[in-house]
A = this chain, B = another copy of it.
Amino acid sequence: MKTMQIGTLSDQTGVHIETIRYYERESILPKPMRNGGGRRVYDGSDVRMLNFIHKCRGFGYSLKEIVNLLELVDTGRFTCKQIHDRTLEQAIGVSEKIKQLKIMERELLQMASQCGQGNKPKCPIIDSLFLE
């Protein structure tokens, strides 16, 4: 089996070395084997697991939620339906965020468009930020 050190794991997953060690400290990743010199040794299963965590983070799961998910997976104590529902929930959360951000985007662009871009210290953007 192909093994690697932490730097390679970091490269392959896009997760910073410090973050990997942090995940280990927080028991989100299992403690890896060490080589003769005391260095962490990882293999393909670690890559898979870290990818899982990284993806989930990207999807907005908290580390706690990820740990829960991983436990479900590890112990096989989950049904496909459970995971389906959680995923859907997550998707709804994401689309909610998108909505919010779109409103922001629109407001920002609108503010920018109202701005004369002059060189005087008087700006409608600032004014509108003070409102409401």
Binding site for B on A (CB under 8 A): 48-49, 51-52, 55-56, 58-60, 73, 76-81, 83-84, 87-88, 90-91, 94-95, 97-98, 101-102, 104-105, 107-109, 111-112, 115-126, 129-132
In the bound complex, what is the Cα–Cα distance between A1 and B108 (angstroms)? Answer: 32
In contact, B117 and A91 (Cβ under 8 angstroms): no
Tell me if A's interface is mostly helix, strand, loop or mixed.
helix
What is the total number of copies of this protein in its complex? Answer: 2
Q: Which are the 4 A-B pairs with shortest beta-carbon distances?
A: A91-B108, A76-B121, A84-B115, A80-B123
Residue ID in chain B nearest A79 by CB atoms: B119
Q: Which residues of the other chain, B, contact A49 by a CB distance below 8 angstroms?
A: 130
The chain B residue with its CB closest to the CB of A116 is B80
Contact A132 B83 (CB under 8 A): no
Beyond A76-B121, A83-B123, whether A112 also contacts B131 by CB under 8 A is no
